[in-house]
Amino acid sequence: MNHTWVTVPVGSPFPLENLPYGVFTPAGGGARVGVAIGAHVLDLAAVLADDTFAHGSLNPFMAQGRARWQEVRAAVVRLLTDEAHRPDVEPHLHRLDAVELGMPFEPADYVDFYASEHHAANIGRMFRPGSDPLTPQWKHLPIGYHGRAGTLVPSGTPVVRPSGQQRPSGEGALPGFGPSVRLDIEAEVGFVVGTPSALGTPVPVDDFREHVFGVTLVNDWSARDIQNWEYVPLGPFLGKSFATSVGHWVVPLEALEEARVAPPAREHELRPYLVEKEDWGLDLTLEVRLNGHLVATLPFAAMYWTPAQMLAHMTVNGASLRTGDFYASGTVSGPGEDQRGSLMELSWGGAEPVELPDGTVRTFLEDGDEVTITATAPGAGGARIGFGPVTGRILPAA
């Protein structure tokens, strides 16, 4: 890849090899689609003279399909590398610290998977002691469920501590009710669908690139006490539905070619609809910070199921896709004790409080706590690309 004429600070998550898409509002302007480069965002509607980008959502562009996504990426690379374009383009670069960033896409349906073996086994041990930590189907299909699309919020949105029922303290007692005292995070990776599909027609696993536009980070805030009391037999509901934070930047799949890796070895023969020709494991490294302190480093390459397998599974029954459908990986956890993507796991259900370098300890989140998730991945030509943070601070219960 060529060199860009834009000054990209050393260590920026947004070198030329990345070019993630987001929605920004410049001072005195309307929300529109931009591409991040270094410390700037490029106003696409202006430089491409295309109204598709003059919206507060990526959906109109994502709906145009993969050929158009490639064409636009190539055009942006040309504009940012050829000095001849600089005089026309430079006026449409806005400093990131001078614009407001928003929700990058308009969500249709939201599905959350459970694709980390280490996370599923950890949670199984804590929620269902005495049973096998993994349920019998776990290595035959990527388990998932629908979440609440209406409470997907962009990074930076404060999270009000939810209230709800909690398991009764003893036989015959009424359930507890009040603010959650086991408020947690789940560090995840999310996939945004661009190209829709027809009802009744499964999407083949090898068509992943045709449908998925890009990747962003997710914090699936979880109230463990509410979840633990409600979730049998129909799954998590209010323990998750109060807020799910989504990153401002959607990294296009094309920027992640160098990050593709084989997923872990399969323990069973897979049904053909889950067998990939291409490897769609992704070698992303996530970092979780609590009040600024690094508390976990998470290897996304350790996920048992790939996003291509998730997509194939989600549609194998003929369920259709819409532009804006969003699905997340589930908590990313690795085998190590500092590779766990939730406080539930890091503090082992509260039994082993996490000590922070400033001397404070945490089992679950306290009011005022701020959690930030970032990630990096190998990009083209040896570059390191980043996802931009997904962050949120806990407000006291209403």
Q: Please, which residue, 316 or 383, has the CB nearer to its own copies?
A: 316
Per-residue binder mask for its own copies (CB under 8 A), 304-343, x = binder: ---------xx-xxxxxxx--x------------------
> Which conformational region is residue 83 in: left (phi greater than 0), alpha (psi within -120 to 50 degrees), or beta?
alpha
- Is residue 188 part of the contact set for its own copies (CB under 8 A)? no
Q: Which amino acid belongs to residue 186?
A: E
Catalytic positions, written as ranges: 119
- Is residue 230 part of the contact set for its own copies (CB under 8 A)? yes
Tokens 């996802």 found at: 387
What is the C-alpha to C-alpha distance for residues 80 and 42, in angstroms, rounded to an integer? Answer: 9
* 45, 75, 149, 261: residue in contact with its own copies (rule CB under 8 A): 149
* 20, 147, 388, 389: residue in contact with its own copies (rule CB under 8 A): 147
β-strand partners of 261? 281
List helix spans (H) across 153-219.
208-211
Q: Least distance (Å) from its own copies to the CB of residue 65?
A: 18
Q: Please, which residue, 71 or 177, has the CB nearer to its own copies?
A: 177
- Is residue 141 part of the contact set for its own copies (CB under 8 A)? yes
Question: Cα separations (Å) of 379 from 68, 284, 383?
Answer: 21, 10, 5
What is the C-alpha to C-alpha distance for residues 270 and 390, in angstroms, rounded to an integer? Answer: 34
* Residues in binding contact with its own copies, number by CB under 8 A: 69
Q: Please, which residue, 123 or 385, has the CB nearer to its own copies?
A: 123
Torsion of CA 198, 204, 210, 213, to 10 degrees: 90
What is the C-alpha to C-alpha distance for residues 374 and 364, in angstroms, rounded to an integer? Answer: 20
- Is residue 126 part of the contact set for its own copies (CB under 8 A)? no
What is the C-alpha to C-alpha distance for residues 321 and 324, in angstroms, rounded to an integer? Answer: 9
Residues contributing to the site for its own copies (CB under 8 A): 108-111, 114, 124, 127-128, 135-137, 140-141, 143-151, 153, 160, 162-165, 167-168, 174-175, 177, 199-202, 223, 226, 229-239, 241-243, 268-269, 271, 273, 313-314, 316-322, 325, 395, 398
